[in-house]
Structure 1
Amino acid sequence: MQNKFLWGSATAAYQCEGAWNEDGRGLTQWDDFSHNSELNVNKVTGDEASDFYHRFEEDIKLLAESNQNTFRFSIAWTRILPNGYGEINQKGIDFYNKVINTCLKYGIEPNVTLHHYDLPLEFAKNGGWANPTLIDYFVEYAKVCFNAFGDRVKLWVTHNELRYYAHCSYLAGNYPPNHKLDFNTYVKVMYYGMLASAKVVNEYRKLGLDGQIGIVSPAASVESLEDTNEAKVAIENAELYYIRSIFDPAVFGKYPEKLIEKIKNSGIDLMSLS
């Protein structure tokens, strides 16, 4: 697998599975938003989506027929642990076992994401990723998945694009909880999210599983139309807060010193809740 060129497709559980209230699945922050928020102006939900929950074999077969050899999909945390913690939902385990086994049946390498934005509702109501208590819950959820699926899944992702999740949730305000320009919480979500990712990677290593694990994040250069001192400061801030806040801890295991200094100078206390 490591030496094979992989070309395929990617989905997220809430965007494709549907079956939002079937077989013991718990509620997520997106269920709450799509069903109850007045900000859902188009009244669109993921209740049915593309019905992957019932049509996964058909979809995976189409991947193989189009000569794709990998499929990145996310596990819905609340299908495995309906409350986000505690009792395991065996029907959720069974579903993802069927998806993984079907991938292998058609020669598709499963690439599994643990968190693709669909946070369990109870956690979302208690501060989400700005609350450091979520870290240990995420680790326990990941361990359940590793133990259930790690014998066949060789590619794992901790978070999908944590930066976009934090930006849309706390700066742009178009993702729940729909905060706008809440930079204080944005920084905490990025920090605790990366700490959770690192701890999950460490747990995977301790299990001695034969696979690869990391985080998915977009990378891009930061440019400006102006060559002013203000623009240079903005470029540096963007690189630190949007890019290096992900890649430095993922690669080097620590935050950039300049970023730590800027966070302190902004009066943001990473050890307190939002």
Structure 2
Amino acid sequence: MLATYSSLLPVLAALLNLSTTSAQQVYVLTTGTPARPQCAAASKAPATPSYKFSSFAFTQTETYRYATSIPPPATTSTYARPYTALSTLLPSMSTTTWGSWNPNDTAATDTADPYGQAAWSSLWAWANPPNFTTTGIYSTTVSPTPVPSSELVLPPADYFGPTDCYTFPPDFIFGVAGSAAQIEGAVAMEGKGPNNMDVWMRPGLSDNYVTNENYFLYKQDIERLAAMGVRYYSFSIAWSRILPFALPGTPVNQAGIDHYNDLINYTLEKGMIPTVTMLHFDTPLQFFAGNVTSRFKDPMIGFFNGGFQNATFEDAFVHYGKLLLTHYADRVPIWFTFNEPLLFSDNGASVNNVVKAHARVARFYKDVVKGTGKIGLKLHDNFGVPRDPKNPGDVAAANHFNAFHLDTFWNPLVLGKNYPEAFTMTIPDYVPLTAKDLSYMRGTCDFVAVDPYTVTVVSPPPGGIADCATNTTSPYFPYCVVQGENNTFGWNVGYRSYSYVYSTPRYLRTYINYLWNTFHVPVFITEFGFPVFAEAEKAKLADMLFDTPRSTYYLSFMTEILRAIWEDGVHVMGALAWSFADNWEFGDYNARFGMQVVQRETQTKYFKKSFFDLVAFVRDRHPNYERA
């Protein structure tokens, strides 16, 4: 493992005739037990113990420790001019407000207005969301209340814990994340238009439209994060809540603009820093070519059709991105244009529209707005590692897999290089990039942001990669590798939870080394998290709250980040934990990634042990965090 045998890597690489970036994992035969440097004092003890009697007393008295809340800021930094100074950068736009919708709503009479209440309601009638309900607890913003100190007592510590001696750099970013479609609710309220997430409902479930009611509870949610000592809050903005009709030239929803203004301002008021994702899967339905059901068609590349391939998408996204930047860039220092776009890419046109739209928005931010923050996009890749690192075929398959997922976006947007061969040899309708395109795109990502939940064990497909790449009917197309979860000895590569998530901290360190040494810009871990197996089936709240496997996941990942920084020289700029509360995981509520339990009948939240453990780990090792 890199963590233990880093000094042997050059020798092993020479023996295997592989570079350290090609051999993703190295197994080293050892004899005896690992060294235990912390046991030096014990080694001087007598060979046999000395037994004795003493008076008995209970000695397990607990020492209580409280979460340290974030204090209100004395000053607030700005990263661009305010909207009043930037509004002239946009074409003249009208703003309006709309009401709410339900399937029996026939009250609107302004049918002559192409963007009136009747037209807006017709969007929802066309979308026809299944099992629709507007039933929720709240219909207006809830005033926050302080979190009582009784909720902020740290839980009993696990017996085995981190033994590192490192600290985070002063500028290391630590925070938590969520996304609009998974927490906001209020899907057809206050002028929000329909998007593809609003029609992605499981049969018989109607509470997906409610989710965590964060649209009304955002102040209380922020209050709870600040009380725990979280420094960064990462969230997404719903495109269809800002532009219900999606396209340039259509009215802006004033209620949406005001909502996110207030969300950003309250985050800052509570001493936290906001980071914003512009599109987190929830593409407005207008980009599905007038056919709502087309989003379900089998895409060539990703798992879902996100509508990116639509001919109007690029210009529309750029318009939307400019609107967000002019309104909010003064207070938001970090922007993500897209979340995991490959997952929702249908074909070559999809990727073309994403990379070009990102580059245009980033250029607007850097060259026109002259923002002083950072901008990028985040990718979903669960890093490909060779099943047998001594097998050249497995190593080649892992490199192919990673190039398809990562280089396809970051070659042009970071390095100014063309698409990788893994992509161009596979996708028949890819759109070639010109030298002018690449010059324009280069450097439009200030970092490489990934969501590295786990790894994928990779080996070549039957018949080889090249044959698969020319056969769109192959079961391994388009990635053209065999994706597994076992090492060469048949063991799972890490502790398994739910249906697909493994705890693989040492591979995380390998991954961020790969990213840093391949793209030469800072690495940003923008989502990582763990759903404890069968947590939703636990009958007692106390059992849900005591989530030691999740704590182990987070603390081991953070430990490997520290080792990558200090032992490998990797610039890791930060880590955002997914997620700050259990939410709708695109299908149900059973895959619980949250660090808070959500009681859905009342929308009450409870801090889990992992939340305390993770924040305490960072706080105790970060020079800019207050100590308990």
The offset of 1:20, in angstroms, is 0.4
Choose 208-217 or 96-105, whichever is displaced more: 208-217
The offset of 1:163, in angstroms, is 2.6
Aligned to 1:49: 211
Q: Counterparts of 1:269 and 1:149 in 2: how far apart (Å)?
A: 34
The offset of 1:165, in angstroms, is 3.3
Task: List aligned pairs for 1:1-274, cutoff 5 A.
Answer: 4-34=171-201, 40-41=202-203, 43=205, 46-85=208-247, 86-125=250-289, 128-166=307-345, 185-205=346-366, 206-218=368-380, 221-226=383-388, 231-259=394-422, 261-263=424-426, 267-270=428-431
SS in 1 for 2:377: strand
Q: Please say if residues 25 and 80 of structure 1, whose CA atoms lie closer than 8 Å, have aligned partners that are also in contact.
A: yes
Q: Please say if residues 184 and 210 of structure 2, whose CA atoms lie closer than 8 Å, have aligned partners that are also in contact.
A: yes
SS in 2 for 1:198: helix
Match of 2:226, as an amino acid? A
Aligned to 2:39: none
Q: Counterparts of 2:227 and 2:384 in 1: how far apart (Å)?
A: 39
Q: For each residue in 1:59-117, what CA deviation from the matched residue of structure 2 results, as whole angstroms up to 9, or x when unmatched?
A: 00111111001100000001110011221111000000110000010011010110000
Q: Please say if residues 135 and 192 of structure 1, whose CA atoms lie closer than 8 Å, have aligned partners that are also in contact.
A: yes
Q: Please say if residues 248 and 256 of structure 1, whose CA atoms lie closer than 8 Å, have aligned partners that are also in contact.
A: yes
Normalising by structure 1, we get a TM-score of 0.81
Alignment RMSD (CA, Å): 2.4
Q: For each residue in 1:29-62, what CA deviation from the matched residue of structure 2 results, as whole angstroms up to 9, or x when unmatched?
A: 111232xxxxx34636531110100010000011
CA distance 1:6–1:232, change in 2 (3 Å): closer
Q: For each residue in 1:116-139, what CA deviation from the matched residue of structure 2 results, as whole angstroms up to 9, or x when unmatched?
A: 000001113468111242011000
Q: Please say if residues 32 and 121 of structure 1, whose CA atoms lie closer than 8 Å, have aligned partners that are also in contact.
A: no
Match of 1:117, as an amino acid? F
Match of 1:23, as an amino acid? E
Q: Please say if residues 186 and 209 of structure 2, whose CA atoms lie closer than 8 Å, have aligned partners that are also in contact.
A: yes
The structure that has the greater radius of gyration is: 2
SS in 2 for 1:129: coil
Match of 2:177, as an amino acid? A
Q: Counterparts of 2:329 and 2:194 in 1: how far apart (Å)?
A: 25
Calculate percent identity across the aligned residue pairs.
Answer: 29
Aligned length: 246
Choose 40-49 or 187-196, whichever is displaced more: 40-49
Q: Counterparts of 2:414 and 2:222 in 1: how far apart (Å)?
A: 33
SS in 2 for 1:22: coil
Match of 1:89, as an amino acid? N
Tell me which protein shows more helix as a share of its residues. 1
SS in 2 for 1:50: coil
The offset of 1:197, in angstroms, is 1.2
* Structure 1, gaps ≥5 residues long: 35-39, 167-184
SS in 1 for 2:323: helix
Q: Counterparts of 2:260 and 2:424 in 1: how far apart (Å)?
A: 43
Q: Please say if residues 226 and 272 of structure 2, whose CA atoms lie closer than 8 Å, have aligned partners that are also in contact.
A: yes
The offset of 1:188, in angstroms, is 3.3
Q: Please say if residues 19 and 51 of structure 1, whose CA atoms lie closer than 8 Å, have aligned partners that are also in contact.
A: yes
SS in 2 for 1:223: strand
SS in 1 for 2:384: coil
Q: For each residue in 1:169-189, what CA deviation from the matched residue of structure 2 results, as whole angstroms up to 9, or x when unmatched?
A: xxxxxxxxxxxxxxxx34432
Match of 2:225, as an amino acid? L
Q: Counterparts of 1:236 and 1:113 in 2: how far apart (Å)?
A: 28
SS in 2 for 1:244: helix
